[in-house]
Structure 1
């Protein structure tokens, strides 16, 4: 069955979890919500996990009333409304978040999921393209966009067959699309790739910081998280050069390999034709000056292998970029 992945807002000090919120066209929705630093939000999470959605909504409404400018509470309200099947209200919440916080890609992504649920694929496409424009390294939005394009292609082939039933080419292509989406009758929707990490209250990057102003420690942490996500995204997409560019010139290669030999080995492994998905869970970032220690659990899957490992990456800031200097696997 085809699925789209909704996402959570980014954040930190506590260990993060990149939850999967899978939405099916049959109105089946499941979600996992990260632990937030704000005192009231973990209680909202507990109520959601117990299925006490009206109580969770009441509590998050009280939180938002006290902190109307906090995107984290408003975003969580959108998730609750989605689980309750109140899609129109959820879309209003996510839509307003895109207006108030246009630099955040997650509300665009979740808005797109709701549009797709209603088979409004053009609107879903527009929202996903906005998410990607906001954050070009957002792998979840790219995969969801691919699913939306598949749905649009299926609709076009169906229309072609309505106009010309004997069109064997259109029939063959439609069959391929239905096989790709996993539902021969209705081509429903499936979860996409890794969602963006979530945790403590969101920290946004100001326009001044993007223009080159001195970043705050919180801004540094956000940059490290984005570098981590983009690194995993390049790996999943098998973009070998982009993946290798995340490693510093003084990266400590394993087993005493030369940098050239290590890069050749990584290129050979990543360049295999099999589809690959890299997902990150329990991300924890500690920034100390120009050094950042990032610990997380890496999950990977391909047609031939699946598994997970604990990893630690040491990032160093060089000329305004966070690059990997060390990589250790537990």
Structure 2
């Protein structure tokens, strides 16, 4: 970062304008605030620079800045392309802002950009994440070229909303599935409290060997084990997670902790909690405190609760 500042200062002293280059490099770090400050110095930014900045905000937030940049592009008559809309649709899905999303969809069609599969997938995903499955399916059915993410977005949308017949139909029709496809189905079943089906799909995934479970898969299937009391399956998942280094992910560790607590293995849950260490979040503390209280170990739970409050106080006082 300091090196980039030195390069910029040296360039300015020598009358060289390397601002565009620096913006791109800053966004790779990413240091979006510094990149934005340099961007604001350019009288007429190119569509490429606008898109790079929109992409950064779309990935890292705040997402509403994408819409501000879109308005700026329109005001400056800067041409929008399929890349602009791909990132804008993703931002609308994250906010979420369906009103802006629909307006962008209209402009997208007006500019004749509905040939691009990546932009169409982002549009589909925006509608699916907003629960507008009919609109998402209309985009999906109209796609000449469907890639794996487009299938996954549609399946995930159906699964999230509990429309499992539709999700399974697409799942079976899908020519090539990946880990995200399987995880979408498992996650949908878990979120809708259909834990038996979540576990069945996970077992099917393991047996098919079509894709290997990742951190998202494990974080989705462990709650099913917890609610079913499927301790032995939970232990096998822990062994797989340790073998692949997935317990470094706090969401997997939290799910494992809760699984052991709900299955009555409170000491094992405490071991997992201790292993999380400095990566613990509020969910980690809550699950452990609740687990101790439920199992009658309220003194330990209360002590842990005070330890959590002390940690939060120290974090606040140092910030």
TM-score of the alignment, normalized to the shorter chain, above 0.5: no
Normalised to the residue count of structure 2, the TM-score between the two structures is 0.35
Normalised to the residue count of structure 1, the TM-score between the two structures is 0.34
Larger radius of gyration: 2
